[in-house]
Amino acid sequence: MATPCKPLLPVLFVFACSESKVGPRIEPTFIEVTLDGETGSAEAPLAFSGEPATWTLTAQALDKNREPYALTGDLTAHVRPGRLVGDPKIAIENGQWTGTLTIEAAFGPTRLWLADEGDKDVDTARAPSFATGVSEAIFYALPTIGEAQRFEDPESNQIDGEWGDFRIADRRVVITEVGTDGFWATDLDDGPAGHGSLFVYTFGKPQGIVAGSQLASLSGGVQEYLATTQLSFPTYTAVPDVTLPIPEAAPLDPAALCSDGEVDSTLAEAYESSRVVLSTVTIPESMAEGGDDYADYVEFGQWPVTASNGCTFYVDITGANLDYTPPDHIGETLPQVSGVLVQVWNKWIIQVRDSADLVTASGAARSSSGASALRGRLPPRHRPTPR
Amino acid sequence: MPPARTMASRPAAWPHRAPFTAPLRTIWPLAGILGLCACALIPQAEQGDAPDISGQDVRLTILHTSDLHSRLLPYAFDPSFTDNALGLSDGTGPYGGMARIGYILKRERARSGRVLHLDSGDCFQGAIIFNEFLGEAELRLQSAVGLDAAVIGNHEFDAGATNLAEQYGAWGTFDLLAANYDFRDSDLPWANLLEDEVKPSVLYDLDGLKVGVIGLANLSSLNSIYDESNSLGVKVIEAFEVIPDEAAKLRSQGADIVIAVSHMGLDDDQDHARTLPDVDLYIGGHHHVAINPPPIVVNEETGQRIPVVHSGAFAKFVGRMDLVVRDGEVLTIDYQLFPIDSNVPEDPEIVDILEEYSEAISTNYNTAQVIGYAESQLTRYGSTGGDSMLGNLTAESMRFYPGVETEIALTNTLGIRADLPVGDITIDNLFNTMPFDNTITTMFLSGREVQELLDYVSWRSTERGCQSQAQVAGITFDMVCNPEDPHAANIVINGIPLDLDGTYELATNDYIAHGGSGFEVLERNTTQVDTGISIRDVVKSAIIQYHTLPQVEAGICVEDGRINPVY
């Protein structure tokens, strides 16, 4: 209900004049939540973990006068941030509940919610009050880039969908490449083959950093863009006047990474967004016009290369401005292909940076006009469009 | 400006508008001296019935819409990858629509205790319904779905400030906010109306939880207001002044938390969250982005973590932010986005209202008329960041239209508001893509001015991810997106390198001809002739002529690299 605010005498104006919007009261009005156990602190947080952790809590329902309210029904549990394991509905009787909740992948100050959002059994459901109580903060450490990305599903990560704050300040995180719409960073303490690399999407060319800059902080929306982990709408800072060595490209070993001619994504995931190098590969017949890979090449620019064991990776040179047309080189062997490794659904693609990254039988590929830039023809991301 | 059509008689009384509408800014200095409260219409029993929330956890739900841009009726489009990722699936169209939004809002209100619906502006402009009814339908339906407060968006002025004042006066039952616009010094007639209608902020009492809401209207696009560059004469107040002042005022009135509902854009919202204390949450719009999870900005002064929520545009999503507050501190948040597609039921009350309008525009505009066919999605952005399919079609159509026939054409990319989806091209689709009633303006430019014009395009595009902010005909050039030196290079006019001492006749749109989007090189030109020819009609003629698009062999409606981004 909206109630207008009307001063009796305009000149004697209003100190606490507000529009009241109140619906019918449903009890309980409050839920008090207490938490047992060592919760850590901002200075000494609990370790980040993808493994489940169980917490014991007590809930007490209260009415508007803060007297115990004999609520019998279901409360709904939430955790922010992190994932709740198991059924979010818990049964409360006579206004009290004590029990455990299990969470995983929580990071930073984390709170468990218990809310009166309605009963599980809709047939006997009462009108919920939406009273909500939260626990005191449990302080978990922020995840490193590697910790966030080590996950059973190579097309996801531990904190997918969260606003991710990363543990950066006490790590050596270096920017390895700067592109036209973002940058790649590698945590040297995880290494390029240790899930420690990430793409940070900045929409335009990122400012204030160069390849070699050391990051001081990093946060952003964690998502899987075409199965490659990226941060969107990020905030980041670099350590002033400090550069770190950019790691050498990590060699990809098709014998170790592939089975039955296909890249094992659970293994390749460790290299995602890192600089990699692949040696002695051949452009297969499938790149001939009308072949299986030709249409994708025309539409998206990616083209296959096959190792001696039949394992196929893909190469994308569209951002490198190279004078090189793969269909003209079917059957030829490329001694070396370097670039950033990204996953696009079930394909692993090496995004080539410049002519030095693509070594042909006759040497490095030639550049065409224009400066080099890492920018593939992937579907567009978010694009702010004011007018 | 045509007179506004109206579909319904105006209400005799405004359902819950505060009869006292003098903006608090006017008399705020008196408040500290006089300090007497007399909220006569708040029932005392109700006030006294509110619980004491001190020391207790209280949940607040904010329902959020933004940049509806007149998409009150469901419409066809091809969701992007990002739309898909946010839950808007392919094949579930048509998308958007106010009856579906009304359903979601009603459902989520029923799933909430303390709840406010806030809108971040730009509900005007973007579909035929606005061209015909000039905002009546938008404001009437925003009121019908129970909107609590909205900030003024820059497009709310697209049919003039008087129109906004009159339409809101007739149909608005929600609080209209803009703390950073000051209308008091203007002598213009509409200024008095808006001065009465627009509040800088409002304080809501939600069962004991006092929520202050500040309106932050747009500054960066004031020059896009319909008439000309800031012809409104609005005195704008900088955010760093108005936000602390309004927040302090609301705190002094007992606000437990303070929310900024903003149409300033994502960058400004993040900057303000980072640098200005005392606002707990930014609910923003203008950039048409839906972001889930919402960015969290750490305030430099207080260390407070402040969510900045943007819930997208074109009625594609409704956002829901839940906050748990204790003693004025936001302890924790949760955010959801609800996609608006054909899986969402419609609110029958809203359907009834919409029918009055949809029947009228269907009759008057023949919206279902098929004028062409899109064999593939016709895009407004180029895949490389340069020229685009619809951009080239539009610019070529302008340049060659009988009576225009200039050497070159240039139009702003953002004047094309949506892709055309695969399938039949209808009048309705065309209006969604080209909603603005812009006309073609011709003028003569020197070669140096052409260089300056394209340099400006390159500079502006560099700031926006090297995505070209203009579309051209008769011109090819390299758009050099070097942040240290953005510029245009290798400019060729109809096959001949640009002659800096030459003269070229340009066709452009009246919006940028008047300096919109910062095109000052055009604004100062004294040879302008407004042809009065509608750009939408010109494009419509081209679509009818070619029928099936793109025509790759003929180079119609295809990207051909005339704008070559160089990084």
Residue B19 with chain A: CB contacts under 8 Å: 4, 6
Q: What is the pLDDT of residues A195-240, one digit of tens each?
A: 999 999 988 788 889 999 999 999 999 999 888 899 999 999 999 9
Instruction: Report the pLDDT value the prediction gives residue A374, as an integer from 0 to 100.
Output: 42
Identify whether residues B164 and B288 lie together within a single domain: yes
Assigned domain for B8 exists: no
Assigned domain for B116 exists: yes
Flag whether pLDDT at B16 surpasses 60. Answer: no
Identify whether residues B254 and B107 lie together within a single domain: yes
Which of A107, A140, A173 corresponds to the end of one domain?
A140
Confidence label for A22 from pLDDT (cuts 50, 70 and 90)? confident
Identify whether residues B283 and B380 lie together within a single domain: no
Instruction: Report the pLDDT value the prediction gives residue B236, as an integer from 0 to 100.
Output: 83
CB-based contact, B345 to chain A, within 8 Å: no
Identify whether residues B372 and B352 lie together within a single domain: no
**Domain of residue A106, residue span:** 30-140
Flag whether pLDDT at A383 surpasses 50. Answer: no
Q: How far apart are CA A186 and CA A199, in angstroms?
A: 9
Cis, bond preceding B497 (omega within 30 deg of 0): no
Bridge partners, residue A350, by sequence: A315, A341
Residue B296 with chain A: CB contacts under 8 Å: 163, 165, 219
Confidence label for B19 from pLDDT (cuts 50, 70 and 90)? very low
Instruction: Report the pLDDT value the prediction gives residue A378, as an integer from 0 to 100.
Output: 46
* More confident: B227 or B355: B355
Average pLDDT, chain B: 89
Written as six digits, the tokens of B245 are: 């002042």
Flag whether pLDDT at B223 surpasses 90. Answer: no
The shortest CB-CB distance from A19 to any of B15, B56, B205 is to B205
Identify whether residues A212 and A254 lie together within a single domain: no
Identify whether residues A257 and A206 lie together within a single domain: no
Identify whether residues A236 and A259 lie together within a single domain: no
Residue A53 parent element (H or E): strand A53-62
Identify whether residues A279 and A315 lie together within a single domain: yes
Average pLDDT, chain A: 88
Residue A382 with chain B: CB contacts under 8 Å: 82, 289-291
Q: Which of B66, B82, B174, B461 to mutate to test the interface with A (most CBs of A within 10 A)?
A: B82
Report the CATH number at residue A151.
2.40.50
Flag whether pLDDT at A183 surpasses 90. Answer: yes
The position carrying tokens 């460790």 is: A270
Contact residues for B401 (Cβ-Cβ < 8 A; gap 6+): B440, B507, B533, B538, B541
ipTM greater than cut 0.85: yes
Identify whether residues B209 and B166 lie together within a single domain: yes
Q: What is the pLDDT of residues A292-302, one digit of tens each?
A: 899 989 888 89
Identify whether residues B352 and B371 lie together within a single domain: no
The shortest CB-CB distance from B34 to any of A12, A162, A204 is to A12
> A280 CA to chain B: closest CA distance, Å?
31
User: What integer is the mean pLDDT of A84-98?
Assistant: 97
Least reliable range by pLDDT among A1-5, B129-133, B355-359, B384-388: A1-5
Contact residues for B436 (Cβ-Cβ < 8 A; gap 6+): B125, B158, B415, B417, B509, B511, B535, B536
Q: What count of CB pairs under 8 Å joins A to B?
A: 245
Q: What is the pLDDT of residues B129-188, one digit of tens each?
A: 999 999 999 999 999 999 999 999 999 988 888 899 999 999 999 999 999 998 876 677
Identify whether residues B352 and B393 lie together within a single domain: no
Identify whether residues B307 and B428 lie together within a single domain: no
Assigned domain for B42 exists: no
Instruction: Report the pLDDT value the prediction gives residue A138, as an integer from 0 to 100.
Output: 98
The reported pTM is 0.87
Flag whether pLDDT at B192 surpasses 50. Answer: yes
Q: How far apart are CA B559 and CA B411, in angstroms?
A: 16
Report the CATH number at residue A106.
2.60.40.10
Which of B356, B376, B406 corresponds to the end of one domain?
B356
Identify whether residues A186 and A234 lie together within a single domain: yes
The answer to whether the CB atoms of B414 and A129 lie below 8 A apart is: no
Confidence label for B119 from pLDDT (cuts 50, 70 and 90)? very high
Which of B324, B356, B388 corresponds to the end of one domain?
B356
Instruction: Report the pLDDT value the prediction gives residue B188, as an integer from 0 to 100.
Output: 75
| Percent of chain B whose predicted confidence (pLDDT) is above 90 | 79
The answer to whether the CB atoms of A161 and B37 lie below 8 A apart is: no
Written as six digits, the tokens of B521 are: 């090189």
Report the CATH number at residue B351.
3.60.21.10
Written as six digits, the tokens of B335 are: 């955010």
Assigned domain for A386 exists: no
Report the residue of chain A nearest B29, measured CA to CA: A13
Flag whether pLDDT at A4 surpasses 60. Answer: no
Assigned domain for A10 exists: no
> B450 CA to chain A: closest CA distance, Å?
22
Cβ neighbours, 10 Å, residue B553: 7
Q: How many domains does chain A fold into?
A: 3
Identify whether residues B330 and B382 lie together within a single domain: no
Identify whether residues A236 and A284 lie together within a single domain: no
Assigned domain for B16 exists: no
Identify whether residues B508 and B377 lie together within a single domain: yes
The shortest CB-CB distance from A18 to any of B85, B210, B412 is to B210
Report the residue of chain B nearest A203, measured CA to CA: B465
Q: Are strands B281-284 and B305-310 parallel, antiparallel or unpaired?
A: parallel
Instruction: Report the pLDDT value the prediction gives residue B361, as an integer from 0 to 100.
Output: 94
Q: What is the pLDDT of residues B508-549, one digit of tens each?
A: 999 999 888 889 999 999 999 999 999 999 999 999 999 999
Which of A203, A225, A243 corresponds to the end of one domain?
A243
The shortest CB-CB distance from B85 to any of A64, A223, A371 is to A223
Q: What is the pLDDT of residues A38-67, one digit of tens each?
A: 999 999 999 999 899 999 999 999 999 999
Which of A184-198, A320-334, B61-75: highest mean pLDDT? B61-75
Identify whether residues A271 and A239 lie together within a single domain: no
Report the residue of chain A nearest B224, measured CA to CA: A387
Identify whether residues A273 and A239 lie together within a single domain: no
> A82 CA to chain B: closest CA distance, Å?
11
Q: Which residues numbered 20-59 in B keep a CB inside 8 Å of some CB on A?
A: 20, 22, 27, 30-31, 34-43, 46-47, 49-52, 56-59
Assigned domain for B23 exists: no
Instruction: With H, G, I as helix, E, B as strand and everything else as coil, classify residue B264.
Output: coil
Instruction: With H, G, I as helix, E, B as strand and everything else as coil, classify residue A350.
Output: strand
Could you tell me if B142 and B121 are in contact, meaning their C-beta atoms sit under 8 angstroms apart?
no
Report the CATH number at residue B371.
3.90.780.10
Instruction: With H, G, I as helix, E, B as strand and everything else as coil, classify residue B244.
Output: helix
For residue A182, which phi and psi values (nearest 5 degrees)? Answer: 170, -170
Q: What is the pLDDT of residues B31-59, one digit of tens each?
A: 433 333 334 333 333 445 899 999 999 99
Q: What is the pLDDT of residues B348-357, one digit of tens each?
A: 999 999 999 9
The answer to whether the CB atoms of B383 and A29 lie below 8 A apart is: no
Instruction: Report the pLDDT value the prediction gives residue B231, as an integer from 0 to 100.
Output: 57
Confidence label for A36 from pLDDT (cuts 50, 70 and 90)? very high
Identify whether residues B294 and B434 lie together within a single domain: no
Least reliable range by pLDDT among A196-205, B301-310, B342-351, B373-382: A196-205
Residue A64 with chain B: CB contacts under 8 Å: 51
Identify whether residues A85 and A164 lie together within a single domain: no
Q: How far apart are CA A229 and CA A269, in angstroms?
A: 10
* More confident: B237 or B68: B68
Assigned domain for B35 exists: no
Assigned domain for A310 exists: yes
Which of B297, B328, B356 corresponds to the end of one domain?
B356
Instruction: Report the pLDDT value the prediction gives residue B105, as an integer from 0 to 100.
Output: 98
Contact residues for A214 (Cβ-Cβ < 8 A; gap 6+): A172, A173, A174, A175, A238, A239, A242, A243, A244
Q: How many domains does chain B fold into?
A: 2
Identify whether residues A41 and A125 lie together within a single domain: yes
The shortest CB-CB distance from B291 to any of A14, A32, A233 is to A233
The CA–CA distances, whole Å, from B301 to A238, A347, B216, B274, B298 equal: 20, 46, 21, 8, 9
Identify whether residues B209 and B350 lie together within a single domain: yes
Identify whether residues A231 and A273 lie together within a single domain: no
User: What integer is the mean pLDDT of B87-105?
Assistant: 97
- Sign of the C-alpha dihedral computed for residues B176, B181, B184 and B186 taken in this order: negative
**Domain of residue B389, residue span:** 367-566
* Closest-CA residue to B1 (of B131, B190, B179): B131
Confidence label for B222 from pLDDT (cuts 50, 70 and 90)? low
> A70 CA to chain B: closest CA distance, Å?
18
Identify whether residues A40 and A130 lie together within a single domain: yes
The answer to whether the CB atoms of B39 and A66 lie below 8 A apart is: no
Written as six digits, the tokens of B330 are: 């936001």
Extended strands (E) in A119-249: 132-134, 138-140, 163-165, 173-178, 182-187, 197-201, 213-225, 228-243
